Structure 1
Amino acid sequence: MSERCNLHELDKLARLFGLITVSAGKVIMKAWANIDRPDYKADGSPVTAADLEADEVIRHCLEQNLPNLPVVTEETCTSGQQTSAERFVLVDPLDGTKEFIQGRSEFTVNIALIERGTPVAGAVYAPALHQLYIGGAEAYKLDTRLDANSVTFSKMHPICVRNAPPEGWRAVVSRSHLDAQTKEWIAQHPIADLRPSGSSLKFCVIAEGEADVYPRMGPTMEWDTAAGHAVLLAAGGCVTDLAGHPMTYGKPGYRNGNFIAWGAAPETSI
């Protein structure tokens, strides 16, 4: 029997999402080379032609491959829109738009399948870094430079979270949103090292065992976190609220509250 037939269904979906994110990444990289001043949404957040073009590519691919699943994307979700489906796809076609505009390479493409409130399959692709992370039943990382013409999943390698070092944890923090409440949380925990990072890559850094925790105080949207959350879950980590309850999806307005993304940190540390 072929490897494809032996794959867990969630891993098949994660690979599909990976292929779609890479396709969207090509569109984004073309736009990055000719970036102009962004427009701004009603909430003040920036949006570029790359966001919109990647969104169109992703929605078309999902319609072709998963026509019966509702899709919620950052660029098409309108105020008051809410799906009641137990299974739906969340998409952020370009996470880290500020980094993208500023010429930094830490922007990502994100697709995740939500099932009964949990992200069960996802892909995070950083096109400028050529790094693809996928998570389904298991988590993997692939350097897309290994094959310039196509995505070769046989060359990916499994990733997993690490045990938090007893001498102190490494925390990843938002490059753009390190606020006073986050600093207070860090001061109250055994953090030995801070690693600033952009976009959903913060989840992936933990998933591959390069950091231990990502505290986030302040507003985020579900499409910002779902794909990275899926990768981290598949790698053995978790994402909780400040009380230690698992973070769920499909909330009103698709808004997240404060959360902590964990590798294998002790449960008593929450």
Structure 2
Amino acid sequence: MPSDPLARRDDAALAAEIAAIAGDYLCSLRDRQELIGKALGAAGDEGANQRIIEMLRRERPDDAILSEECADVGHRASARRVWIVDPLDGTREYGEGRDDWAVHVALALDGIAAIGAVALPSLGTVMRSDEPSPLPAAGNPLRMVVSRTRPAKEAVAVAEALGAVLVPMGSAGAKAMAVVRGQADIYLHSGGQYEWDNAAPVAVASAFGLYCARLDGSPMRYNSADPSLGDFLICRAELADLVNDAMEKTTPHS
């Protein structure tokens, strides 16, 4: 009898396997061309979430789960191990046939995004916290990823102060992984996000040696009662002081 491919995987391998399986499902769903636009995005969210939750319930039945697409699983508030997932980050981009969308699977341990995988299914890759590699050289000029539809004014102001080039992109996972993959150097976010938007990206980015913190310099903490987590900076470590100085100079003071 063939063994279950997910059996006996450690947490990092499990996160990567689940992200890849969900990503394969989303690609297959889109390739069938039965749905388009918002309808495709909604079906993708629901189907990917169902698969992720089922796999986590089977493989880690004692762990809690926080997902964008369903009610909490397990006693999340008191849990030390919480899986934080976004089954389809960048629903709009997915529905439009773009490649800048992602699947996020993270494990928070005592409030820290310690383990994670970010699948970029359209690119055929999974970035994972247990397989870090050296970062490519920084850009010259520097490159800052921003929302392709609503770039934050704070990020635009900092980019102008640094002489950085803006790189419009879709999902939060795609933006963070652009920094990990050397396609950008800075990801500064000051708008509304939730823990599932950035837990897996932060786990991966941290493992690759990137600076990850709230805009006030405080650590990124997870499994809060209120899952909103709306601002952060992910960048090359050697750029953190430079970016923080630019933020200080460009932020209005009352």
C-alpha displacement of 1:76? 0.4
Does residue 239 (structure 1) correspond to residue 237 (structure 2)? The answer is no
Match of 1:125, as an amino acid? Answer: A
Q: In structure 2, do the counterparts of structure 1 residues 128 and 162 end up closer, same or farther at CA, with 3 Å as the change threshold? A: closer
Instruction: Tell me the TM-score normalised to structure 2 length.
Output: 0.82
What is aligned with 1:198? 170
User: Residue 70 of structure 2: SS of its match in structure 1?
Assistant: coil
What is aligned with 1:212? 185
Q: In structure 2, do the counterparts of structure 1 residues 190 and 37 end up closer, same or farther at CA, with 3 Å as the change threshold? A: closer
Does residue 16 (structure 1) correspond to residue 14 (structure 2)? The answer is yes
C-alpha displacement of 1:83? 2.4
C-alpha displacement of 1:205? 1.6
CA contact (8 A) 2:77 2:225 kept: no
C-alpha displacement of 1:246? 2.0
C-alpha separation in 1, matches of 2:235 and 2:103: 22
CA contact (8 A) 2:86 2:104 kept: yes
C-alpha displacement of 1:183? 1.3
Match of 1:181, as an amino acid? Answer: E
CA contact (8 A) 2:212 2:220 kept: yes
C-alpha displacement of 1:177? 2.8
Count of aligned residue pairs for this structure pair = 231
CA contact (8 A) 2:37 2:96 kept: no
- Cα deviation 1:125-177 (Å, max 9, x = unaligned): 122221211113x42xxxxxxxxxxxxxxxxxxx2335645x54221122233
Match of 1:228, as an amino acid? Answer: P
C-alpha separation in 2, matches of 1:106 and 1:119: 22
Does residue 124 (structure 1) correspond to residue 118 (structure 2)? The answer is yes
User: Residue 38 of structure 1: SS of its match in structure 2?
Assistant: helix
CA contact (8 A) 1:161 1:264 kept: no
Percent identity over the alignment? Answer: 30
Q: After the TM superposition, which of the residue ranges 212-221 and 177-186 deviates more from structure 2?
A: 177-186
C-alpha displacement of 1:82? 5.7
C-alpha displacement of 1:182? 2.3
C-alpha separation in 2, matches of 1:93 and 1:16: 15
What is aligned with 1:144? none
C-alpha displacement of 1:102? 1.4
Find 2:100's aligned residue among 106, 110, 116.
106
Instruction: Tell me the TM-score normalised to structure 1 length.
Output: 0.78
C-alpha displacement of 1:55? 0.4
User: Residue 254 of structure 1: SS of its match in structure 2?
Assistant: coil
What is aligned with 1:26? 24
- Cα deviation 1:40-88 (Å, max 9, x = unaligned): xxxxxx951111011010011111111111011110037xx96232220
C-alpha separation in 2, matches of 1:244 and 1:163: 25
